[in-house]
Structure formats: C-alpha cells, structure tokens
Copies of this chain bind each other. A is one copy, B any other.
Amino acid sequence: MIKTKATGPIPSGFHALDGELALGGQRAGALVAEHGSPLFVYSRSRLDDRMMQLRAAMPDRLDLHYAMKANPFPPLLRHMVGLADGIDIASGGELQMALAAGAAPDHVSFAGPGKRDEELQQAIQAGVTINIESPGECDRALKIGAALEKQPRLAIRVNPDFDLKGSGMKMGGGAKPFGMDIELVAPVVKQILEAGAEWRGFHIFAGSQALSADAIIETQAQTLDLAGRLAIEIGEAPAHVNLGGGFGIPYFPGDEPLDIGKVGNALSDQLTRLPSILSSTQFAIELGRYLVGEAGVYLTRIIDRKQSQGQTFLVTDGGLHHQLAASGNFGTVVRRNYPAAIASKFSEEPTETVSIVGCLCTPLDRLSDNAAMPEATVGDIVAVFCAGAYGASASPANFLGQGPATELLVD
C-alpha cells in the first residue's frame, strides 16, 4: 500500500463545468483541444479580483506595484499595467516589455544587483527610476546620465538590517548582493543631489513569499522606521518609498492564505504615526507572485498510464521545462506537492494514489508524488495550480528539445 502524500491547497474560486475544471468559462478539455497541450491559462477575472481585494484591504495612500518578473506574458502584462500603479522591472529586457505593454516610464522602477551599462543607459533615456544598488552603480549611472545630457532618476535600494521572518527568500538581514548597507545610503544620496540628479527615495526589500501577517507587519514597521531614520540623516524627504513585497501564496499542504486585512489595518495605523519628514512621501509595495500566482493554471495531457512495482504513474506531455518550481527544483530543499488535480475529472472524488510525472527523461521531472486522485487515463488532463507566477519564464523551456508551452489569457 502506497502512502498518499497530500497536495497543496487548490486556490478558492475554481469550479467545474460539466465535470471539468472551468477556466474563464471554458472547460479545460476544450481549451486544450483548441490551444494544445501543455497550456498555461491565466484568468483576467482572477487578476481583477485579487487586485480589488488588495486595494480594499490596503490604505488608500499606498501604491500597488506589479513586479513583472513573476510573469511577463505580454497580454497578462498589458492587463497588469492597467491594474497596477507601477511596474517594477529587473532588466533591460523587462524595460522593453514594460514599455511595449504601455507602462508609463514615470511609473516604472528598475532593481537588480547587476545592471549593465547599456541597461542603465536605456533606463535613463526612458526616464524610469533606477534603484541604485551600490556606490559603483551610482557612479556609473551619473556618468551615463552626464554623457546623455539627461539627469537620471535614482532611488537607493537599501540592504535592511532585518529580514522578513518566515519568508521563502530572505533579501535582508545580513551581507547581501542586493542594495547597499545602511551606512552607505546618506553619502550616496548626497552625491546624487550634488550631481543635480533626481533623488526618488528608497527601495527596501526584506524578503518574499511570507504567509504570516504578523511577520509582514513587523517588517513593514521596521521598513518605515528605517526610511524615517535615513531621511532624517540625509535631511531631505524621500519622494517615494517602496516597502518591498513579501506577500506569499499557499503552495503546500498546511499553508494558509495571508490575512491581508490584518496587514492593511496595521499598515494604515503605521502610516498615521510617521515622522513628519515622511508626511508627504508616496509609499508603495511591490508584489509579483501574490498578484498573479493563483490566477494561473498549467494544463498538461496524460500520455501514458503505467505501473511499476505496484505504483501507478501518470506520464504527461508537460513537466519541469515549464514547471521548474513545482517539480521541486527551484528554491526548495525538500520537494512537496503543489496543488494539482485531474482537470478533466474535477468533480470526481479521489479513488487512487498516483504519481504524476513530466515527459522528460530525468527523475527530476515530477509534478505530484503519490497524490490522491480520481482514476485518470491517457487523454485526461492534469491541472497544476499556482502556475501564474515563476512558471513559464522561470523554467528551462528548451531542455531536452521540448520548447515553450502556449500561454493564454482568458476571461
């Protein structure tokens, strides 16, 4: 008897239509029949709902930015440009995509520890804000601005002296390649001001993928405190402070959704108790995964159903080349099962324990280990949920000669 392993919680709001998983009002099978398999399906209404809920929960004063690294699929990005107050980019390539999607340059900011000269040049020319990550990068940006005869818009990315507790990825609280240590900030801001460039404020990012409201509240309080202290040290008000992100989504068994109401209430309260130097500062948070992760589903067709030593394997035409993180090979130490289902039998109860694998000829290509599923066979369709962020663009699409999956934005 095989011990069943739990799968992660399917995000709320998915329903069946004629027994199949429905996406944008269409059956999974119909979508695959029309667009092929494997297929990423992103739901516009889920994107809208998530942003609406977030706006309702967060203080009015807070801008909501989309970190496009989570999902740069052009139709989705265009939609997010319409929903979000700003777009955060991480490369010259993302700058081109953001501008092509209609983002206004003065609502775009560019972070990343390794910006090439050409990327700084493109960013300055476009007029987007550059989050400066080191004194050396500041020198380069000012020099390139001078050569272009265009003053750059520069914020300082700060390496905070705290981290986001319980976060999937810590980006502060120690020696880091991101941003600059606190004691470097004031001198570099003074250098920017003396050069006549536009100082845009601070970017302070302490971690990502946290599900604890208390941890995020604590980090946001520390971030506001740090921004206030730095502003006082500099003696000038920052126009803008990006408080980072950190809002996680449930992927694994036992994960509970983040309580954004609690985070929003605490942040509203914190914003009423700011030092006066921050009284007219514009605040923002930047979210990627939280905004788009649960809006996406990865559909992949079952090619083979086979037995080996008493275990059942469903072999699909997808795999880690599109779903690196779900396979357990990206930023996780112990592999756990993402939420998954037999999309073509979404109304049925589980009756057997199966392992769902991808088509690649490597034991790394696992989508769901020993999961409880309704009986499925060749031609049925598997759904992997939470596929809207860090899926298609964060996976090695060309591995083993496979190529990318089709992506689709539906209602």
A residues whose Cβ falls under 8 Å from a Cβ of B: 69, 72, 89-97, 111-116, 133-137, 159, 169-171, 174-178, 180-181, 303-311, 313, 315-317, 319, 324, 329-331, 333, 355, 357-364, 378, 393-403
Contacts and interface: CB of A to CB of B under 8 A. Distances in A.
B114 A358 contact: yes
Chain copies in the assembly?
A: 2
Give the interface centre of A116, A136, A177, A402 by most chain B CB atoms within 10 Å: A177
A177 B315 CA distance: 7
A235 to B, nearest CB: 25
Contacts of A97: 401
A315 B181 contact: no
Contact of A169 (B92, B93, B135, B362): B362
Contacts of A133: 304, 306
A308 B159 CA distance: 8
B114 A378 contact: no
Given A94-B401, A96-B401, A177-B357, 16 more contacts: A89-B401, A90-B400, A90-B401, A94-B400, A113-B304, A113-B359, A114-B359, A136-B304, A171-B363, A174-B309, A177-B355, A181-B307, A329-B331, A394-B396, A396-B397, A397-B397
A364 B177 CA distance: 11
A227 B80 CA distance: 58
A372 to B, nearest CB: 17
Interchain residue pairs A-B with the least CB separation, the first 9: A114-B359, A93-B401, A94-B401, A175-B311, A175-B309, A134-B306, A91-B401, A114-B315, A112-B361
A114 B112 CA distance: 38
17 contacts: A69-B401, A91-B400, A93-B400, A93-B401, A94-B400, A113-B361, A114-B319, A116-B317, A136-B304, A169-B364, A175-B309, A175-B313, A177-B308, A177-B357, A181-B307, A329-B331, A396-B397
A290 to B, nearest CB: 16
Contacts of A331: 329, 364
Contacts of A393: 396, 398-400
A410 to B, nearest CB: 23
A116 B358 CA distance: 12
A364 B178 CA distance: 12
A113 to B, nearest CB: 5
